[in-house]
Chains A and B, each alone.
Chain A
């Protein structure tokens, strides 16, 4: 039962991710990697660092 629901979840997530633009997908990839990097830092530190770095990272989107 759980496996079937897991499969449904994964399909739903796949649909969401397939339905977004390449730019949005790139933003997700960049921001989750950054958050992972700052995960062990306190939230305010991570918040500021992610904001500053993301502003630079999205410069690739034209």
Chain B
């Protein structure tokens, strides 16, 4: 997707019709719109999201007042008025024109609640415009709303991405990008389809009563599972909240001079504890697998001797190995002649003697099995010894890990005590809050575990009920067909659940690699980013050999967030070119529109961000004030600038402190803030080369 232009008609502070044409993907792919704070930059960002999705960001005041106030106030009573945003864009080599507008008749000073309408046209090869039905649906396939906040970025709020509470949004964005949202919904919805089909089953006589009972129980189980899932989601949210709090308090502790060293130590010990615990769990897992595969060896200590004794007896009696093969005797009997030439006529004593020998003859398979068994029996003792040695090894390592864990837990607890006995009251209070938050988190963790066990139990019960329903004799062909359909749905759902997990973790892994690569290119610190399996964006300091959470500054947060946005854009591009849109994910090249990305950054980070932005996407639109960007940004962006606009702010106020009247760009002066104007509003002017 690439934007060609956006046209505003009486939209918020933009009076009349005003248009911006964007720089196209090339070496000069950046469009910069210079505007003062409160001068209409954020409105322009919102114009995109309003036109595409009908939404304005939370910080927009008076959301219903979409029609320019000067136009509204100046119009006579009853006059029909309009505000609209029109975006012309190209997607997969097709040009589209999108227009969202709101119409109202003026009655009084306050605008009524807007009822916007949306139209979408496709430009045909001959230049004609074809109107498309279901414009929301079309847009949902091109750039879904769930992804919008990553491509229309408010710099002041993008930092939330790298905070723990951003995990859900990141996860949702990733799923939308790869088309996993549809699979996720399918996994949720298919059991309901099966449930509905079951209601159509019919059985014979008394079996019908049983079927009704089973269906009712199944419905109850479903209801209980849903309730448990709802409670588990709530507990997970609460746990996440406490984890955010713990994270915040831990970081706060590192900022308190008295506590800093102890807290750094605690981070290290926590990290060690995490690794020791993971290693113990791995050992326990391996031990369980060994017991599962070879544990039986412990229960057959006398078996090899018994087998050997039995076989020895058979050997002594001359039965093993057999003196004669049965196949050989069978062949002689069939031929009717012995090897000595004697004819083996039916009922003759010679034939009878040979048939007697046939009963004593051994089978080739039995002999082979005997030989194999001999080999196995002699190694059973050896295998048992090896297994016991391996088990002892696991037990020792597990015990060692448990001991280390206890020691580390004691050391961590000791740090807690030390922190609480420091004179600084804030340290003591922070530590107390930390303990409370950990306790609350652990309580939620226990609830999640208990609810998980309940869900598993209910799922087992449900499985049993389903089996019972399947076993019931259904009376008619129709019910048999329903059963087949239910079976197909359940099989499909199991397969989709497994596919969903593989795809989710796969895309997370790729994004993680991209984020690390992008972040390494632009970061000013030697930190290591990570997109965790829970889709949280973490930043680690690995300088001391141990991995401890890096203190996230505003600058590093911004770079990390931009690296994430860049990784999403990269993934979408790769999905398009590599044909990886397995499940109709969102693929293609996407532009990025960014507002206020330079605010609150020092010069080094402004330079780093300005250097990074043009490389982030093939088309970049930046909304910034001259004061936020400064000379550094201008210099850094200059080689990549394709188009520039000035948003002139008009105010009827006659006095504004520190107003910048003009902005000089490319050697020309442009009005920037017009104080004492005849109107209030914003005006767009293209900067000439």
Interface, chain A (partner B; CB < 8 A): 1-2, 5-6, 9, 12-13, 16-17, 19-21, 23-28, 31-32, 35-40, 43, 46-47, 50-51, 54-55, 58-59, 61-62
Contact = CB atoms under 8 A, between A and B. Distances in A.
Interface of chain A: mostly helix, strand, loop or mixed: helix
Contacts of B499: 13, 16-17
B488 interface: yes
Contact of A21 (B185, B491, B506, B582): B491
Given A39-B182, A40-B140, A5 B509 contact: yes
Contact of A32 (B137, B182, B192): B182
A1 B513 CA distance: 10
Given A27-B492, A61-B484, A36 B502 contact: no
A31 B498 CA distance: 16
Contacts of B188: 47
A43 B192 contact: no
B144 A43 contact: no
Interface in B179-231: 179, 181-183, 185-186, 188-190, 192-193, 196-197
B17 interface: no
Interface residues of B, number: 42
A16 B139 CA distance: 32
Which 5 pairs, one residue from A and one from B, show the smallest C-beta to C-beta distance?
A40-B140, A23-B488, A24-B491, A27-B492, A35-B182
A61 B492 contact: no
B236 interface: no
B368 interface: no
Contact of B197 (A9, A31, A55): A55
A17 B510 contact: no
Contact of B485 (A28, A39, A50, A58): A58
B481 interface: yes
Given A26-B488, A50-B185, A13 B503 contact: yes
B144 A31 contact: no
B495 interface: yes
Given A17-B499, A43-B185, A58-B197, A32 B583 contact: yes
Interface string B492-525: 1001101100110010011001000000000000
Contacts of A62: 481, 484
Nearest to B195: A51
Nearest to A23: B488
Contacts of A61: 481, 484-485, 488
Contacts of A19: 495
21 contacts: A1-B513, A5-B509, A12-B502, A17-B495, A19-B495, A20-B491, A25-B492, A31-B189, A31-B190, A31-B492, A35-B183, A35-B185, A35-B186, A36-B182, A36-B584, A39-B185, A47-B185, A50-B185, A51-B196, A55-B197, A61-B485
Contacts of B197: 55, 58
Nearest to B481: A62
A16 B485 contact: no
Given A9-B503, A16-B498, A61-B481, A27 B488 contact: yes
Contacts of B196: 51, 55
B488 A58 contact: yes
A11 B88 CA distance: 41
B183 A6 contact: no
Nearest to B580: A6
A17 B583 CA distance: 13
A49 B188 CA distance: 13
Given A47-B189, A50-B185, A2 B495 contact: no
Contacts of B291: none
A38 B509 CA distance: 28
B20 interface: no
A40 B134 CA distance: 11
Given A50-B193, A51-B196, A28 B492 contact: yes
A4 B181 CA distance: 25
A39 B181 contact: yes
A38 to B, nearest CB: 8
